[in-house]
Amino acid sequence: MEALREKIRQEGEVVSSSILKVDSFLNHQIDAGFMMEIGREFAHRFQDEKITKVVTIEASGIAPALTAAAVLGVPVVFAKKTKATTMDTEVYVEQVESFTRGTTYDIKVSKKFLHKEDRVLIIDDFLAYGHAALGLAKIVKKSGAQLVGVGAVIEKGFQSGGELLRGQGIRVESLAIVERMEEKEIIFK
Ligand code: 5GP
């Protein structure tokens, strides 16, 4: 998606050769209009898949997942990282390694919101090593639902997540794939 690559070029900050910061439109402030464009692009790419639900992880996955779900006309379910006292006790749980924090955490989805009849699109902000997406994919599998694919706003092609997911036969659609990052330049695939 050329508009996204251009936005990353203009506003992205290379924190290190492996971490990209896009706080101005995705991870802190959200460019709502641009997020609609992202949602439309995901919806277009998966338009023939009869998706019934979009699944993501709080917090940064919610914005692109919500706009894609709005265009597809389906609900979005976000996995929770903390267990609120209000959360249902019947939940699917998976452990995920955090790329940005270097720790592991549990993700939880209430059994009420995923069913075996569902056709699920997983959406996240970044695809790095694939831990978050694989955790979600395992939850989808446990529920008996069908995983249709994974959509990442930004894939870092030099990390192994994309290869790992595609190697498992999962369709992965990334709107921008970063090949490498240098201090003053971001090179796309
Ligand atoms: P993975 O689970 O694929 O290793 O990492 C994906 C998750 O880590 C995403 O949900 C995202 O929040 C975070 N992440 C991974 N790499 C980056 C990055 O370069 N920048 C930002 N802002 N988040 C990242």
- Atom 23 (ligand 1) nearest CA: 126
Query: Of ligand 1's atoms, which has the minimum distance to the CA of residue 22?
Result: 22
Strand residues in the chain grouped as ranges (E): 13-14, 20-21, 53-57, 76-79, 91-97, 104-110, 119-127, 146-156, 172-182, 185-188
Question: So what's the pLDDT on residue 189?
Answer: 94
CA 41 to chain centre: 14
As to burial, measured by CB atoms within 10 angstroms (0-12 exposed, 13-18 middle, 19+ buried), residue 183 is exposed
Return phi, psi of residue 7, to 5°.
-65, -40
The answer as to CATH 3.40.50.150 being correct for domain 39-177 is no
CB 98 within 8 A of CB 126: no
Mutate to test the pocket of ligand 1, among 125, 129, 153, 160 (most ligand atoms within 8 A of CB): 125
130 CA distance to ligand 1 centroid (A)?
A: 9
d(CA 43, CA 179): 25
Strand partners, 120: 53, 147
ipTM: 0.99
User: Tokens representing 114?
Assistant: 């995923």
As to burial, measured by CB atoms within 10 angstroms (0-12 exposed, 13-18 middle, 19+ buried), residue 4 is buried
4 CA distance to ligand 1 centroid (A)?
A: 17
User: Tokens representing 108?
Assistant: 């939880």
Local structure of 34: helix, strand or coil: helix
pLDDT in 10s for each residue of the chain, 189 residues: 999 999 999 999 999 999 999 999 999 999 999 999 999 999 999 999 999 999 999 999 999 999 999 999 999 999 999 877 777 789 999 999 998 788 999 999 999 999 999 999 999 999 999 999 999 999 999 999 999 999 999 999 999 999 999 999 999 999 999 999 998 899 999
Which residues lie with the beta carbon below 6 Å from any ligand 1 atom? 19-21, 27, 60, 99-100, 124-132, 161
**Domain chopping of the chain, boundaries:** 39-177
* Residue 131 known to bind ligand: yes
89 CA distance to ligand 1 centroid (A)?
A: 28
- Atom 19 (ligand 1) nearest CA: 19
- For 145-169, letters b (16+ CB in 10 Å) and e give bbbbbbbbbbbbbbbebbebbeeee
Regarding pTM above 0.95, the answer is yes
28 CA distance to ligand 1 centroid (A)?
A: 14
Q: How far is CA 121 from CA 66, 82, 98, 101, in A?
A: 12, 23, 21, 25
